[in-house]
Amino acid sequence: MRKRSHRSRVVLAVAAAAVVGVAGCDAVGGDSPAPSDAARPSPRPTPLWDRTPSSVAAVGDSITRGFDACDVLSDCPEASWATGTSPEVDSLAVRLLGRAGAVERSWNYAVTGARMADLPGQLAQAVRRKPQLVTVMVGANDACRATPSAMTPVSAFRADFEDSLRSLRKALPRTQVFVASVPDLKRLWSEGRGSSMAKQVWQLGICPSMLGDADALDTAATLRRDTVQKRVEDYNKVLKEVCAEDKRCRYDGGAVYDYRFGTAQLSRWDYFHPSVNGQARLAEIAYRTVTAKSP
């Protein structure tokens, strides 16, 4: 019995060694075939949002052109929140690319007075540069018309924005888009109406639907301003909704609209457009949104 038991143990040990040996060959490769492609770990997917884009193009209106930031009734692109090179502003492009990089790899196609209907033409220019990030700040002039009835209809505003993003995406599928909300125009009126200089400049035609008859507080004037303000809110809703449909678009979440611009952040010439300090605050908002881990 002991001999047969001993022999059985030997047979079992040899069999076990054979099994382990086969398993070992599979584990280390040996003579077994290489794993199939399906068994290999898949490469890490490319993130939809790159927080460190290497080039920036800006489109929009007078705010992005730095209007009235440096001199009265004139553009000052070097103070632009998006692409300016002024050390006092520390623009989005400078924060992302460095000062030398901002000079070489950022472009400002914004135009003072531009409305949403002008966005496709500006983007067509930007596309030629093949930027990795496009900044959009437009809509104030759609509300700043001679009268509230002349404001851009919300449906047209939406259609033009959708067409603009569609054209951009067709030309540059991977380009990212940062969209800033339209500022709170009524707050700008409230902040500036105490300045006689501001009211004199406003009479030259700056946002008459909101700023006209700045001292008037009667029912008609209040209704006029509230109508303009409601249209701005509707525009921001469009910007948010349309941007949300594009996986490479980020809206600022209403941060520009919510920012409480004070006199230090407003041009000392018109108390409406951002001052150099105000441009720096816009740059902070944009940079925070672009570099956030999630929208």
Closest CA to 59 of 101, 140, 116, 97: 116
pLDDT for 24: 38
> Is the residue at 36 inside a domain?
no
> Is the residue at 210 inside a domain?
yes
69, 279 contact by CB (below 8 A): yes
> Is the residue at 26 inside a domain?
no
> Is the residue at 24 inside a domain?
no
pLDDT averaged over the chain? 88
Q: Does the pLDDT at position 219 exceed 90?
A: yes
Give the mean pLDDT of 194-221.
Answer: 93
pTM comes to 0.84
Give the mean pLDDT of 66-75.
Answer: 95
- Which residue segment(s) compose the domain that 68 sits in? 56-291
Give the mean pLDDT of 195-217.
Answer: 93
Token pair for 137: 């700040």
> Is the residue at 178 inside a domain?
yes
Q: What CATH number has the domain bearing residue 93?
A: 3.40.50.1110
Report phi then psi at 133, rounded to 5: -140, 135
> Is the residue at 44 inside a domain?
no
Domain count, the chain: 1
pLDDT for 8: 45
Over residues 97-110, the pLDDT tens digits come to 999 999 999 999 99
Q: Does the pLDDT at position 1 exceed 50?
A: no
> Is the residue at 39 inside a domain?
no
Q: Does the pLDDT at position 61 exceed 60?
A: yes
Residue 143: band (very low, low, confident or very high) from pLDDT cuts 50, 70, 90: very high
Report helix, strand or coil for 135.
Answer: strand
Over residues 259-282, the pLDDT tens digits come to 999 999 999 999 999 999 999 999
Q: What distance in Å separates the CA atoms of residue 274 and residue 260, rounded to the nearest whole number?
A: 12
Give the mean pLDDT of 236-259.
Answer: 98
- Segment (H or E) for 239: helix 219-244
> Is the residue at 90 inside a domain?
yes
Over residues 147-176, the pLDDT tens digits come to 999 999 999 999 999 999 999 999 999 999
Non-local (6+) Cβ contacts of 20 within 8 A are none
